[in-house]
Each structure stands twice: as structure tokens, then as C-alpha cells.
Amino acid sequence: MRYGFPDGFTWGTATAALQVEGATREGGRGDSQWDAFCREHPDRVWERATPEVACDHYHRWEQDVALMRDFGHTGYRLSIAWPRIVPNGTGPANQDGIAFYRRLFDALRHAGVEPNVTLYHWDLPQPLAAAGGWENPATLDAFERYARTCFEAFGDQVRLWATLNEPSWSTLNGYVTALHPPLRHDYRAAVRVAYNMMLAHARVGRLYRAMGGTGQVGIAQNMCPVYPATDSARDAEAARVADAVYNRWFIEPLLLGTFPTEAVDLYRRHGLLPDMPSRDLALFEGGSLDWVGVNYYFPHYASADATETRFGLNTSGNKEEDCHFSIKGLFKFVRNPKGRYTDWAWEIYPQGLYDLLARMHAYRPGLPIYVTENGIGAREVLDADGSVDDAYRIAFVREHLQVAHRAIAEGMDVRGYYMWSLMDNFSWVNGYKKRYGLFFIDRQTLARHPKRSAHWYRDLARANGFD
């Protein structure tokens, strides 16, 4: 069967500033919460890796844009480093930072690669983090000012904007599992941050319109579909609660204008619900999304049998090491005994992507959807030919594109696919061990080597489909 995609479908890759740029102390860039975290808690990151050098994209961007062009990409999802634009979070804009991205966006456009730009991919300026981060309303004001600066500086170059990357995942890991900065385990703060991030999105979406922006504002969400672990009524309820707090909270205010009752009731019962004044809630009226980005890696299976509170990510790359997400008395996520798993114990389940696309479409039929991240992390080394024979990555992307194709055939407006990632990069607490790229990065020389998947993806982009 031939899997042909609609004309103009975007074939791209995704990266984030902190994970690829490096040059963290150059060009006037300020410190971010992740720079500080890696400095202060080196043992929490694999082999004490830091983002200081990353892929050195800050110096090699011309080469990287040429790779995208030569390999047939038509889109590139990237993020702007907030601390490169506003080094201390609140002060004046850094003209060197602005000039860097203007050059990059210009080169992308010349190369026929449409930028899709995320304003916040977790690199909160450290002074804002130190002052309470996303718990503090002042951070929302600072985010709005930073967004205004970006819209003014790049409005003529960028048509596709995303406000936030994965507010759910960053809130959970920052404030519940305590695996990411600010390393907190505080449910009250988590709910406050989850609320503030939605407000931040809504404020910036409205700002863009008020400034006369003619492009589209969206968000990149990691929605993990949550299935009940068994067919028991208890597990069905656990899945419903998990889905409300994990997924629905982060999308429904933006599409439906309301927060899910299940989550609101739960937080109220536990005294965790922040004040939600009507002037805030009015910001969500009418919805605030022109498009939605789906970042999809794996599904969850919820069990009601949560007898302890325990969190852990697999950072070993050993399949047998489970990830843990268990909140005593509420729900826990368990392994699918029949599932296929990556070395990082993430289940490979393409149907999950379909379910998410269908869900977005059901919320608002005709809503433009992009797959803003999807890919597989693996341990890899260069072979004698200077390449990597990553057949598993090709298989992974292929299977996920097949379900995206089905979704399009059924009438869902899926407009593009950004594979995670263009190149191997700083994989947060996994450091540089977990590789996701179409291009292998030699950590000694930082040279880029196309993997087999890079050639495969080029052919598919050029043919606008595959057999």
C-alpha cells in the first residue's frame, strides 16, 4: 500500500534551544534553571552532562540548516532560548540574541524550511526561577513581555508559534516527581503551576492577536493516552482521574474554555485548588488555540492499586528498569505485559498517536494538528562506515506515520510531522546517552553523521509519502 500525504504536508524535525545550542555563556545569554540545576545537582544527570556545549548549534547553525535543506525537510520546530532574549528574565532585550535568531529564521526560509517556533521549552531564566518560577505571577508578566519582544522581533519571519512545550510533563517533573528543576514534591505548588501555565498560554495567545499577528498560535502538548490497566471498575476510575489531571487539565481550557470537573473537584477536596478569579477564567473564553501540537512517545496504563508514592524515570537505558509514577491512594501507571518497549522502558504503541489525534479532532473538528514530537531514543555508536543502521527508528516512525495517514484519510486535519529529533542532543537527565537524531553527533568532534534513518526520511519527504 502507498501512504501518500496531502500536498503541502510538513516534513520536519524538532529540537529545543537548551538541548542543541550550547554556547550557554556566549552572546549575552543569561543562566537558565537547567544550567543551574546541572551545576548544582550534577549527579542527577547521566555522567554529569551539561547543556554547555550540546550540539554547538549556536555556532554550527548554517551547517544544520544546510542539512535540513539537503535532506528534503520542509519544516523545523525549534525553541527560542528565553535567557538569550531576556538574559535576566525581566530586563532589557539582548540584541545579540535577537540577531542570532533573525539570521537563523532567515536562513531557514531561504532553505525552504518553515520554522515552527516554541517560546518556552523549559529554559526558564534562573533569576525568575529563584523568585518562585511559574508559581509566581511575576513570571507570567515576564513571559508576556518576552513574548511581546519575540513577536515584535520575529513577527515578519515566523508564522507558526507555540507558546509552551509540554506544560504537563514539565509541571509533573518539576513539582510532583521532583526529577526536573525546581526539584519540588509539592502538590499545591504543582496545581498552582499547572493553572498558571494555562493562563500564560491564554495571555500570550491574546497578546499575539492584539498585536495584529497574522500567523497562528498553538501549543505543544505531551498527551499520553491513559488506558485502564485492567477491565475492573476501579482501574477505569483510576484512568479517568489520571487522564483528567495529566491530560485534560492542560488542553480543555484552551479548546473548550473550561477546566475538567474531575480534576477541579479532586483538587478542591484536597484543598489544592488555587483561586480562579472570573477575570482569569474569562481569558479562556472562546478558546485560545489556532492549532495544537501533539508530542507523542508512549501511552500509560492506570491502576487503582497505588499503595505507595513513588516516582522514577528510567535513565539507564536498560529495558528492565521500570519507570515509576505512583500516587498513594490515587493511581499508578503500570507496564503493559504485552507491550513492546524501548531500552528506556517506553512502550512503542502507534495506536496511541491515533487515539490522541482523534481526541483533538473530537474536541474541535477541523482543528489543525501537527505531530510536534515523535521518535525513539536509543544507545548508539558509529559503525565502520561512519553511520548508524537504525532500522528500529525507521520502523518506529513508519508505524506512527501509518496511523497519522489513517487519521488524515478519516478527515482529521493533520498538517505536519516533526520527528524528534534532527540530531542527537542533551536528553535532559539522560545527558547525551539517549540518542534520538536523524544525525549522529560525535561527542568528541561534534561532527554530524547521517544515520540510515536520515536517508530514509529524505526519500519519504521528497516523495511526500512511502510504500
Residues contributing to the site for ligand BGP (CB under 6 A) = 16, 19, 165-166, 169, 222, 295, 373, 377, 420, 427-428, 430, 434
Between 120 and 466, CB nearer to ligand BGP: 120
**CB 193, min distance to ligand BGP, A:** 16
**CB 340, min distance to ligand BGP, A:** 17
Between 405 and 434, CB nearer to ligand BGP: 434
**CB 465, min distance to ligand BGP, A:** 26
**CB 356, min distance to ligand BGP, A:** 14
Between 16 and 254, CB nearer to ligand BGP: 16
Between 249 and 418, CB nearer to ligand BGP: 418
Between 71 and 420, CB nearer to ligand BGP: 420
**CB 214, min distance to ligand BGP, A:** 27
Catalytic positions are: 166, 373
**CB 16, min distance to ligand BGP, A:** 5
Between 166 and 252, CB nearer to ligand BGP: 166
**CB 427, min distance to ligand BGP, A:** 3
Positive or negative: CA dihedral 282, 285, 289, 292: positive
First-last CA distance in the chain: 6
Which position's Cβ is nearest ligand BGP? 427
Between 207 and 422, CB nearer to ligand BGP: 422
**Contact predicate 417/8, CB 8 Å:** no
